[in-house]
A and B are shown apart, each in its own frame.
Chain A
Amino acid sequence: MVVAIGQRVETLEARGIVKRFPGVLANDHVDFDVRAGEIHALLGENGAGKSTLMKILYGLYRPDAGEILVNGAPVRFHSPLDAIRRGIGMVHQHFMLVPTFTVAENVALGLPSSRRVVLDLDRVSARIEELARLYGLHVDPSAEVRQLSVGEQQRVEILKVLYRGASLLILDEPTAVLTPQEVNELFQILRQMVDDGHGIIFISHKLHEVIGLSDRVTVLRDGRVVDTVPTAEATKEGLARLMVGREVLFRVDRPPVEQGDVRLAVEGLWAEGDAGLDALRGVDLEVRAGEILGLAGVSGNGQRELAEVIAGLRRPSRGRVMIDGRDVTGASPARLLDHGLSYIPEERMVDGTVGEFSVEENLILKDHHHPPYAHGIFLNFTRIAEESDRLIKDFDIKTPSRKTLVKSLSGGNIQKLILARELSRNPRVLVAAQPTRGLDVSATEYVHRRLIEQRGKGCAILLISEDLDEILNLADRIAVIYEGEIMGVVEREGVEVETLGLMMAGVRPDAVPAQGKGVVTEEQGDSAPKGNQKT
C-alpha cells in the first residue's frame, strides 16, 4: 500500500530526558522504554510530567537534555512529522480532529496524495475500511467527524495513526471520555494491535485500567521516574502509593444521613445549547436535603446546559426549576445566591474564578456587597483580609499570599478556592459540575471529602460528573443523562456498572426503574426518598 510512511519500531527508548518550563522541572532525567508487542502504562498525577514526556517522544517538544533512541539508534525529532516518519503515532487526550472534515479527510490531512496535487479520498477510504476490518475499528469514512460519537472519534484518531504506518502508539488518557462499554471495546482493539506486533504506551491515572491492560507500568512523580514494574507484580494500593507518595484511601466514607425535604427540583426542563439545538429535552430531577444525586453521562449530553440553567446562567425554553418549593425559573444568579444556591462550575478558570483577580478578591466575589465584606458602599478590607486568611487556612489553599493572582495557582488549588467560596456560604443546594476534572488523586480526595461533609450538613447536592467511579463513590442515587433526556434514576446500592453504561449509551432498559420522574408534591414527605408515582 502506498501510505505506510512510518518505519517499524522494535524499541523506543528515552534516556535521561530533562525538560524545563519557566519555574517547573517537568521531566527530571527520565528513563523510559517500550518494546513492540507490549503495552507499557505510564502512570502519574497531574503535573507529574507524563504529557511532557510523551510530547517529547512525539516531537512536539524538544528536550533540554537526554536522548531518544528508536531501535537502538539515537534520533532527533524537530516536529511530529519526524516522529511519524519513525513509526510513532499519538492519540491525544483532546482529539486532534477537524470536526467539519469527513473521516477520510481527517486521515488524509497532511499526507501526500497518490494522485499528487489532487486528493485521493476514494483510495484513502478503501484503505481505512481495510484497516477498520483488521482491528475492528468500524467507522464510515465519508461521515463528518462532528456527527460521530466520542468513541467513534477516538477510533478515527487510532485509524489516523495506523494509516500512517505507525507501529508504536502513544495513547494519552484515552479512556477519560468513554463509556464503560467503549472502554472495553478500546481495550480489545489495543490487545489485538499488540498481538499484531505494535507497541503501545498507555497513559492513565485510573489504576484499575492500568492493571487490567498493561504489561509493564512506569510511575512518574514530580517529573521523576519512581519505579518501573511488571504489571503482574503490581497492586492497586502499591501503585497508588508510588504515584501519590503516601497511602491513598479509595473509598470515601459515606456515613448515613437523614434525608430531608426536596430542596432542588427540576421539572420538564427544556433548554437550547449554544448551537441553538435542544440540549435539554424534558429533564425531571429532584434532590433532597442530605442527599447527593449523581448525574452520570458522556460529555456533551446536556450536563453543562442543565447546570447553567439551574445556576441562572442560561434561560430554559420550557419547564421549571424549584428551590425549596419556590419557583426560581429564570431568576438572576444574584437571587439564586439569596436562595442558598452554590455552584461549582465546570470551567473553573472561565466561570469559576477571575484569573486576573487576587485570591481574596475571588473569595469575596459572591458576597462582596454585604457584611462582613462590605460596610455601606465601601469594602471592609480588614474583615476581607481576616476572612480570606481563615478560608485559605481552612481549605488548605496553597498560595503564596491572599494577594496572589488566581491564574498563577494550580488547578487543584483553584478548585479549593472555589470550594472555600461556595461552601463557606453554607449552601442549601449545591450544584457541582465536574468538580474533580483534571485534578490529581490528592486534590480529588479532598474535594470528595468536602462534598460528603456538606451532605452531612444537610445540603442537597447535584453532582454532575463524567467520571463514573466518582459518582459511584459519592452518590446516593444516580441519574443518567443522554441527549438531554434522563434515561432513568437508580439507587446507588446494588447498581451494576454495565446497566449504567448502557444507559449512558442511550439505552433505556425496562429493567431499570425510571425513578425520580415524579413531580414534586407536598405529599411526598420526608420518608420517601424517591418518587415512583407520576402526577
Chain B
Amino acid sequence: MIGSVIAGIASSAVRLATPYLYAAIGETIGQLSGVLNLGVDGIMLMGAYVAFFIVLRTGSLSLGLISAAGIGAVLGLLMAFISVTLKAEQGISGIGLYIFGLGLSTLLFGMTVGHVQTIDGFPDLVIPGLSAIPVIGDIFFHHNILVYVAFALVPIAWFVLNRTPFGLKVRAAGQKPEAADSLGVNVERIRYMTVILGGTLSGVAGASLSIALLNTFQQNLTNGMGFIAVALVYFGGWRTSGVLLGALLFSTVNAIQVWLQVKGVNVPSDFALMMPYVVTILVLTAMAKRRVNTPAALNKPFERGES
C-alpha cells in the first residue's frame, strides 16, 4: 500500500516536472548567454492559451503545440529586441513581458472562450516493454509525449551547451562577451538565438500545461510557475543536471501536496499550497553561498569597445 502511494506520487512528480523543465532549460540557455528573461511566466501563459484555443477550435494537438512554440518564439524575439538591441534593463523588461502575457492571455481567453472548458490533451504513450518493469515502469513510462520530450531535453541541452561550437559561443557570450566579440563571434546574434529559443521552450511549457497535463485553460493558469522556473536556473547553478534535480524536487513537493489534498489529510489547504514555494525559498537561501557558475555578464548588455 505504501509502495503504491510512493509510486503514485513519484509518477505524478515526473509528470508535474514537465513544464518546469521546458521553461527552466530554455531560461538556462538564455542566462548562460547573458540574458535574464523574467517574462517566462507571461510567455508560458500565452503559450498555454494559444495551444488550448487552437486545440479547442481545430482538435489538432500538433497544431496547438506548434502555435504555442510559435507565440513563444515571437515573445522571445520581443524580449531579445528590448534587452539586446535596445539594451533595456533586463529585469524590468522581463517583468513587463510577464504582465503583458498575463493580461493578453486573460483578455483573449475572455473574448474567445469565456468560461472554463476541458479538451482532450495528449494521450499517455505507454512505452512497450519498459512500462512493464515493476514500479519503474509505472513511474517513468506511462506518460504523454511531452513528458518524455521534456526529460530528453536535459541531456540534449547539456550536449549542445558543452559539446558543440555553438554551446561554446553561448557560454562565452555570457561569461565574457568582449572575448567572444574579439574572435568574431556575433554576441548579439547569439543572444537573440538563445532568447528566442528560451521563449519557444516557454511557449511549449505553457502548452504542456494546457493540452497535456491539465487539459484546460483559465486566467493565470501557470500561477507563477515561470518564476519558479527562473529560480530553478539559479538553484541548478546553470547546469542542466542541476535544473533537472531542482525541477524534480519541486514537482515532488507539489505532488505530495496534491496527494495530501486529495486524500483529505488534515492539513490546511493554504499551507499545503504554500509548501512548494516555501521549499523554493529555503533551498535558494541555502544555495545562495555557492553561486560559482554565475555567468559573469548576466544582465549586462554588450557594447563593443566599452571595456
Contact = CB atoms under 8 A, between A and B. Distances in A.
B175 A90 contact: no
A94 B176 CA distance: 12
Contacts of B175: 98-101
A80 interface: yes
Interface stretch (A36-44, A111-119, A460-468): A111-119
B133 to A, nearest CB: 33
Contacts of A398: none
B142 interface: no
Nearest to B305: A60
B190 to A, nearest CB: 10
Interface stretch (A102-110, A316-324, A440-448): A102-110
Nearest to A160: B183
Instruction: Describe A's contact surface by its main secondary structure.
Output: loop
A81 interface: yes
B164 A81 contact: no
A108 B168 contact: yes
A80 B184 contact: yes
Contacts of B293: 100
A96 B182 contact: yes
B33 to A, nearest CB: 13
B172 interface: yes
Given A98-B171, A100-B175, A100-B293, A109 B180 contact: yes
Given A110-B169, A119-B164, A81 B176 contact: no
Nearest to B165: A113
Contact of A119 (B163, B172, B181, B305): B163
Contacts of B185: 109-110
B168 A119 contact: yes
Given A60-B182, A110-B184, A110-B185, A117 B305 contact: no
Interface string A251-270: 00000000000000000000
Contacts of B183: 80-81, 84, 96, 109-111, 160
A224 to B, nearest CB: 22
A113 B167 CA distance: 12
Name the residue in A97, A108, A109, A111 with the highest tally of chain B Cβ atoms < 10 Å from its Cβ.
A109
A97 B179 contact: yes
A355 to B, nearest CB: 15
A128 to B, nearest CB: 15
A32 interface: no
Nearest to B176: A98
Given A98-B175, A100-B296, 8 more contacts: A55-B305, A61-B305, A98-B179, A100-B175, A105-B168, A111-B165, A111-B183, A160-B183
25 contacts: A55-B305, A60-B304, A79-B184, A80-B182, A80-B184, A84-B184, A92-B182, A96-B179, A96-B183, A98-B172, A98-B176, A98-B180, A100-B293, A101-B171, A101-B175, A106-B179, A108-B168, A109-B168, A109-B169, A109-B179, A109-B180, A110-B172, A110-B184, A119-B167, A119-B168
Interface of B: 163-169, 171-172, 175-176, 178-186, 293, 296, 304-305, 307
